Structure 1
Amino acid sequence: MLGISVILLTLGLLIYLAYRGISLLILAPVLATFAVVASLEGRVLASYTQIFMGSTADFIALYFPVFLLGAVFGKLMEDSGSAEVLANAIIEKLGTGRAILAVVISCAVMTYGGVSLFVVAFAVYPIAAALFRRADIPKMLIPASIALGAFTFTMTALPGTPAIQNAIPMPYFGTSPFAAPGLGIITAAVMFSLGMLWLQFRAKKLGSMGYGDHKDAEFIPDKDLRERSACEGFDLMELPVEEKPKNPPSVLVAVLPLVLVIAVNLAATFWVIPRMDTTYLSQPLYGETGIDKVRGIWSVIAALVIAIVLLIVTNRNRLGHLKQTLDNGANASLLPIFNTASLVGFGAVIASLGAFLLIRDGVVGLGGNNPLISLAIGVNVLAGMTGSASGGMSIALATLGDTYMQMAELHGISPDLLHRVTAVATGGLDTLPHNGAVITLLAITGLTHRQAYFDLAMTAMVVPFVSLVVLIVLGTLFGSF
Structure 2
Amino acid sequence: MLRFYLFLGRRCPSLPKKSVSNMASTLAIVVSLSLLMYLAYRGITVLLLAPLMAALAVLLSGEISLYLPIYTDTFMKALGNYAIQFLPIFLLGALFGQLMADSGAAHAISRWIVARLGDRHAIVTVVLACGVLTYGGVSLFVVAFAIYPIATDLFRTANIPKRLIPATIALGSFTFTMTALPGTPAIQNAIPIPYYGTNVFAAPGLGLIAAAIMLLGGLWWLRGRAAAARLAGEGYGKHEDDTGISAVEGADSAALSHMPLFLALLPLILVIAVNALFTYLVFPRTDMSFIIERFPHLAPEKVIGLWALIIALAAACATLVVSRLGRWSDLRDTVNKGVFGFMLPLFNTASEVGYGAVIAGLAGFAIIRDAVLNVTPGNPLISEAIAMNVLAGITGSSSGGLSIALQTLGPDYLRMAQEAGISPELMHRVAVLAAGGFDTLPHCGAIITLLAICKLTHRQSYLNIAAVTMAAPMLALVAVIALGTAFGSF
- TM bin (shorter chain): over 0.9
Aligned to 1:28: 50
The range that moved more, 315-324 or 451-460, is: 315-324
Instruction: Report the equivalent of 2:366.
Output: 357
CA shift for structure 1 position 449: 0.8
Q: Distance in 1 between matches of 2:245 and 2:41?
A: 21
Give ranges in structure 1 of 5+ residues lacking alignment: 221-238
Q: 1:241 to 1:40 in 2, by over 3 A?
A: same
The aligned counterpart of 1:138 is 161
Q: Secondary structure of 2:250's partner?
A: coil
Other-structure match for 1:274: 284
Q: Tell me if 1:242 matches 2:250.
A: yes
Q: Tell me which stretches of 4 or more aligned residues in structure 1 moved more than 4 Å.
A: none
What residue in structure 2 maps to residue 382 of structure 1?
391
SS at match of 1:274: coil
1:466-481 mapped onto 2 (5 Å cutoff): 466-481=475-490
Residue 37 of structure 1 deviates from its aligned partner by: 2.5
Counterpart of 2:344 in structure 1 is 335
Aligned to 1:14: 36
The one-letter amino acid of 1:392's match is G
% identity of equivalent residues: 53
Residue 409 of structure 1 corresponds to which residue in structure 2? Answer: 418
Question: How much is the aligned-residue C-alpha RMSD, in angstroms?
Answer: 1.4
Q: Show the 5 A alignment for 1:57-456.
A: 57-207=80-230, 208-215=233-240, 216-219=242-245, 241-248=249-256, 249-283=259-293, 286=295, 288-456=297-465
Judged with a 3 Å threshold, the aligned counterparts in structure 2 of structure 1 residues 20 and 287 are, in CA distance, closer, same or farther, namely: farther
TM-score normalized with structure 2 length = 0.92
What amino acid does structure 2 have at the position aligned with 1:253? L
Deviation at 1:311, TM superposition (A): 0.2
Q: Distance in 1 between matches of 2:40 and 2:268?
A: 34
Q: Write out per-residue CA displacement over residues 354-391 of structure 1, whole angstroms, 9 at most, x where no aligned residue.
A: 11111100011123421111100110110010010000
Give the Cα separation in 2 of the matches to 1:219 and 1:27.
32
Give me the whole-angstrom Cα distance separating, in 1, the residues matched to 2:333 and 2:118.
36
Cα distance between partner residues in 2 of 1:383 and 1:443: 22
Structure ID, larger Rg = 2
Q: 1:302-326 CA distances to partner (integer Å, 9 max, x unpaired)? A: 0000000000011123322111111
Tell me the CA shift for residue 274 of structure 1. 1.3
Which amino acid is the alignment partner of residue 206 of structure 2? Answer: L
- Between the aligned partners of 1:174 and 1:400, the Cα distance in structure 2 is 15
Give the TM-score of the pair, scaled to structure 1: 0.94
Which amino acid counterpart does residue 39 of structure 2 have in structure 1?
L
* CA distance, structure 2, for counterparts of residue 130 and residue 138 of structure 1: 12
Q: Give the equivalent residue in structure 2 for 1:45.
A: 68
CA distance in 2, matches of 1:70, 1:92: 28
Cα shift readout 1:44-76 (whole Å, capped 9, x = no counterpart): 222111111111111011000000000000000
Deviates more, 1:153-162 or 1:438-447: 438-447
The alpha-carbon distance between structure 1 residues 453 and 130, as it changes in their structure 2 partners (threshold 3 A), is same
Paired with 1:169 and 1:290, the residues of 2 have a C-alpha distance of 15
